[in-house]
Amino acid sequence: MRDYVPLYIPIACVEHERLEFAVLRRQKLSLSLRDESGNVRTLNALPTDVATRDQAEWLTYREDSGEVGVVRLDRIQSAKPA
């Protein structure tokens, strides 16, 4: 049996464009991300890609430590220049 995955809620077009521009400009962001449990963590990261797959939109990023992460766009609470 598959785990329950909440439906993707599309983000506002302007927010999507800001993330795409940050990728193109190689602009580091301060991201606040909400996990499935509702916990929020903040990190500084370089966004590297915005992609659509599995009926959702995703941001791939690289943290200052070099670790690569992926987050569904509707899990991003805020994204500001770092």
Domain 13-81 adopts which CATH fold?
Answer: SH3 type barrels. (2.30.30)
Would you state the pLDDT for residue 6?
Answer: 80
pTM for the model: 0.90
Q: Using one digit for the tens of pLDDT, what is the confidence trace for 13-50? A: 999 999 999 999 999 999 999 988 899 999 999 999 99
8 A C-beta contact, residue 79 and residue 18: yes
Instruction: Find the farthest-apart pair of alpha carbons in the chain and give their distance in angstroms, rounded.
Output: 42
Q: Within 10 Å of residue 70's Cβ, how many Cβ atoms? A: 12
Q: Where are the domains of the chain?
A: 13-81
Would you state the pLDDT for residue 1?
Answer: 47
Mean pLDDT for 60-77 is: 97
What mean pLDDT value characterizes the chain? 94
